[in-house]
Structure 1
């Protein structure tokens, strides 16, 4: 039996189709394995600590020394509060100390005088003068404490940055009245940037602290280096609540035929940032941990 040209071409087409189908199946299998089990995620966010800045004492803002977007160092003056009332409070506290000291000297003289008149004056009078001296001594200690607090308030009229930060969403202007303890501006801590990677639970077995991570910001060609700090110890169970009145678990029935892997936050510290890469808290990132490439190109395939 001889193979004709048409039969040979038809057989080659069948073989080529089978080979391509097998290759496509292998590629799909490796891609599924990579996206399902490889320690990588495209669902990540760049995070940073935001420090709200407030004043210790209420007062009118006297001067503002920074602008929106400024990079500031720890200890740098950001703005100042009007010092007139604070200086007056310090002067009053110092005057109260002088009054308390004069009262104490007088009370101590009286206590010594009555102590020398033993047998002439009653014990009750001597005890009364001694108690008056101790009370005057306590009032002096209170006046000194008030003076120290007034000095602290005056010093903190200059509001300084507690961290190396970046001024963000800044709208403070001179003349605004600032209430004590109420934030008037925010700083992004430049030393606190990290990445929260939300990995599927099917990938957690391959994630451990210290594992090297490659971080790619959306819109950036260069990658950042980091390492895994830890995995979140709990996530919210959206299908469970507590029934009112009974305090029993109220688990809602699930009718979905497709069960998706839940995502668990993984904290990743940033070790190296290439020059020129802008870190903005909230940017979307892709995180690939060591070992992910082995799922895409497994050694046993070769």
Structure 2
């Protein structure tokens, strides 16, 4: 009878140890969840662009296929260049013709300028002759009163004075007419600038007939082939930027307080859970559309009256840049799992 309490205590000891161990494991799990938040509400993301031609035309070459990997500078598609080559040739021919017209017009302008200069010289000569005739008349008129010259000589001097004055007026009018007749090539030069601009546009349009990859990527959503008429600025297919891959992980708002840009992350995809990838937090979202936050009508918020007694934490996207992703494994939209280490900062995530 005396050994019964001791036996009872010894029988409860293993159960107590199990409870303590369970509490320790639970504490570790809670500490791990607190310091290393984890979510399986995540997916793979990469930037994409729409591949669009900048000119209209029929596709004559499409050297890529759907889901193909391409390198920067690779030809993606070629539009029929003949209309744009013809437009360029036509503009260049117009420039040649205009340059010849400018040269011919310039020679005519030079001749007009020579005629104007000659008219000015004639005016100067007529002015000198008129001045000399006037002086001669003045002298002979004074000598007539003294009887040193005849009346006939004075009349001849007067006639010469009037004749040279009339000739001076005539040469002045001719000089004005010659100066007014001098044209220029300014209008033609302005036309040349316009034609040169047309040539630049034609060269650019001809260059736009080739669409090349702006970065390393992968073709997606290709649903056309050679012979299809492509409209300018209308997407033909999508190009995925495979240089940088991200995982968009939705974390509870209660986990965001310790998550900062640059924090280290461990990632894996559900398509191959055996591979682990490292990354770092690129940024945190600062806005999501609430499910029950109401709508704004006429400037005032409208909040629903019903109350959910069980409150579910809102989730916010966290953008994680992946370091050294597997190009054959990463696909946009693939399911992923992200584990963050807020106390660590990753280096060289890209």
Q: Common fold, TM-score beyond 0.5?
A: yes
> Does 1:196 find its partner at 2:245?
no
Query: Which sits farther off after the overlay, 217-226 or 16-25?
Result: 16-25
Q: Distance in 2 between matches of 1:30 and 1:167?
A: 46
The residue number in structure 2 matching 1:96 is 94
How many angstroms does 1:233 deviate by? 2.3
> Does 1:83 find its partner at 2:84?
no
Q: Distance in 1 between matches of 2:268 and 2:55?
A: 44
Contact 2:39 2:339 in 1 (8 A): yes
How many angstroms does 1:135 deviate by? 2.3
Q: Distance in 1 between matches of 2:320 and 2:107?
A: 70
Q: 1:114 to 1:261 in 2, by over 3 A?
A: farther
The residue number in structure 2 matching 1:224 is 277
RMSD (Å), alpha carbons: 2.8
Q: Distance in 2 between matches of 1:186 and 1:279?
A: 17
- TM-score using structure 1 length: 0.82
Contact 1:195 1:269 in 2 (8 A): yes
The SS at the match of 1:202 is helix
The SS at the match of 1:121 is helix
How many angstroms does 1:183 deviate by? 0.9
The residue number in structure 2 matching 1:212 is 264
Contact 2:264 2:342 in 1 (8 A): no
The SS at the match of 2:283 is strand
Q: Distance in 1 between matches of 2:75 and 2:99?
A: 37
Q: 1:125 to 1:265 in 2, by over 3 A?
A: farther
Contact 2:263 2:342 in 1 (8 A): no
The list of structure 1 runs, each at least 4 consecutive aligned residues, that deviate by more than 6 angstroms after superposition, is: none
The SS at the match of 1:172 is coil
The SS at the match of 1:260 is coil
Contact 2:52 2:234 in 1 (8 A): yes
The SS at the match of 1:212 is strand
The residue number in structure 2 matching 1:278 is 329
The SS at the match of 1:288 is strand
The superposition leaves residues 187-215 of structure 1 with CA deviations (integer Å, 9 ceiling, x where unpaired) of 11111311111111111111112111101
Q: Distance in 1 between matches of 2:308 and 2:32?
A: 25
The residue number in structure 1 matching 2:50 is 52
How many angstroms does 1:227 deviate by? 0.8
Q: Distance in 2 between matches of 1:32 and 1:124?
A: 99
Task: Give 1 or 2: higher helix fraction.
Answer: 2
Q: Is the radius of gyration larger for structure 1 or structure 2?
A: 2
